Structure formats: structure tokens, C-alpha cells
Amino acid sequence: MNLSFFDQFSSPSLLGIPLVLISTMFPALLIPSMDKRWVTNRLSTLQLWFINLVTKQLMSPLNNKGHKWALILTSLMIFLLLINLLGLLPYTFTPTTQLSMNLALAFPLWLATLLTGLRNQPSTSLGHLLPEGTPTLLIPALILIETTSLLIRPLALGVRLTANLTAGHLLIQLISTATVTLFSTMPAVSLLALLVLFLLTILEIAVAMIQAYVFVLLLSLYLQENV
């Protein structure tokens, strides 16, 4: 059976049962369980330090009302980070390369931020659709443009995460295939490709971490406009 480069993005299944739910929930097993003691071991201390750092970065632009979202945004950040990093391991499946999953994460949270603004401060939220001092002739066009840009936000969130991870996985597979293929005929070129593959892997680790942070950071900025 011939496999294409895009087969790695198909959802795995066992006896016809999709395993995407298992691959999505597996990262939660890697998080150490919390203990009643303040300091247990170095791993738990590192975990608490990282969670505290992420929470401070996400909540610093928000007021006290926005701090209610700290648990949701921090949990989403850690969830995406673990999934993205685990997807770089060989013979693994990355659920965040699926646009459907990313949209399922982006759309409800974006809608929640929008409804929060419409409930708490409807005038301010609707005022974002029309900048102050707009000429009368441009009002209909600007309202249409701002409404389109507002509605396209969840799609942009999902597509950005999907496209970056998919492109990185494809590049890794292409270069690794070239490394193995050229090893018997051109060893020097194969070693050069191996070096490029190593550097690309380091870059993809950084991309996996940055994209998880950017996804949650944009959600926090959308929340900032509505609280």
C-alpha cells in the first residue's frame, strides 16, 4: 500500500473505532497530580512555576473581571502545548493538525468572550464596529468590514494553528525521506539533510510552543476588549 505525505494527518483507528479522543486525552496523564504539601519534588515545583508564569502573562492585561478566565486559559495553554510537543515524536498523531478540532476549541471560546461583552457592556462592544470620527459616507462600509473581521476571528485562530503545525510536519517528513533516500547514493548530501532535519526539529519545537501561546494569547486579547 502506497502512503502519501498527508496520511500522517488522518485520524488513527482501531477496529473501525477512531482513536483521536484517546490521543487528545493522553497528555493529561503526563501532568503530575497535585499534592497537599507545598513542595513535593522538582517536577511539581517546575510545574507550579510554569503555570504561575503562564497565568501572569495571560492575566496581566486583564482587569479583575477577566481574571475569572484564568483557569480556562491556562488549562487550554498547557493542553495545546502538550499535544503539540507530543505530536513531534515519531509514530504519533497530532490532533491539533485537524482544522475541525481547532475550530471546536476556538469558536466556543471566542463566542463566550463576545457574549460576555454584549452582556456586561453592550454599548462599548458594539462601538468597536464603528471607530469614532468616521465620515458619514463610510459608516456602512466600515460596519460591514469590522463585522466581517469580528466574525472571522475564530476561523483565523483555527487556521493559523493548523497551518503552522501541518507545514512543519510536512517539512520534517520531506527532509527525513530525502535523508534516507540519498544515504546510499550521496552520503554527503544525506548528512547535510540530516543536519537540516535536526535544526528543523528544534525550530518545530519552538513553533509548537509559540503557537500554543499565541492561540491562548489572542483569546485573552479578545476577552480584554469585552471586559
State the cell numbers at 104: 471546536
69, part of any domain: yes
131, part of any domain: yes
34, part of any domain: yes
Q: Which residues are CB-contacts of 93 (< 8 A; sequence separation ≥ 6)? A: 8, 11, 12, 19, 20, 23, 87
8, part of any domain: no
The pLDDT tens digits for 176-194 are 888 888 888 888 888 998 9
Q: Which residues are CB-contacts of 156 (< 8 A; sequence separation ≥ 6)? A: none
4, part of any domain: no
pTM: 0.81
* Domain enclosing residue 94, as ranges: 16-226
- The answer to whether 30 and 189 are in contact (CB under 8 A) is no
pLDDT at 158: 92
How many structural domains compose the chain?
1
> What pLDDT band is residue 11 in, cutting at 50, 70 and 90?
low
pLDDT at 64: 81
The pLDDT tens digits for 75-94 are 898 889 888 888 888 777 78
- The answer to whether 35 and 47 are in contact (CB under 8 A) is no
The pLDDT tens digits for 111-149 are 999 898 888 888 877 777 777 777 778 788 888 888 888
